[in-house]
Amino acid sequence: MKVVFTTILIAVVVIDQLSKATSSTITLNTAGPFSIAISNTAATLVATTLLLAVALAGTTLRQRLHQTQVTGLALIIGGGVTNLTDRLRFGGVRDIGQIATLTFNLADVAIALGAFLLVGWALAKREQSQLSDGQGK
């Protein structure tokens, strides 16, 4: 599991940073994720705190986690690491895409996908538990 976790985390960082290095349309986002209006200092503090909390939880529980959970955590932490790196190096996150008024980068996509995996896994596990307990519909 450690190899899978590390490989996904590193892949997210490398792919995100390469996409930014080769993009011709970079926007420096000093707001929060997806351009949510908060100060850069607050965004960095929130990102760092969340990243450390997720990393601590993942490290503590990693031996007991399902492969889907490991993948989700690696995506979230990898995205957090690369966005935090941007904030520290450039004073904001470098975004390469835009949908409507939301700007984003591949790290944001990885974070959202990781969250989706974790929530989906938890809901599936809950449903499976209810069915095995005879509480299913």
Closest CA to 8 of 89, 117, 133, 100: 117
Q: What is the pLDDT of residues 70-96, one digit of tens each?
A: 899 899 989 988 988 998 899 888 999
Q: How many domains does the chain have?
A: 1
The answer, yes or no, to whether residue 137 has pLDDT greater than 60, is: no
Domain that holds residue 112: 2-18+30-127
- Report the catalytic residues: 95, 108
The answer, yes or no, to whether residue 34 has pLDDT greater than 60, is: no
In this predicted model, which residue has the larger pLDDT, 113 or 1? Answer: 113
Q: Is residue 135 part of a domain?
A: no
At residue 119, the pLDDT reads 93
pLDDT band at 15 (very low <50, low <70, confident <90, very high): very high
pTM of the predicted protein model:
0.79
Q: Is residue 98 part of a domain?
A: yes
Closest CA to 93 of 32, 36, 48, 49: 32
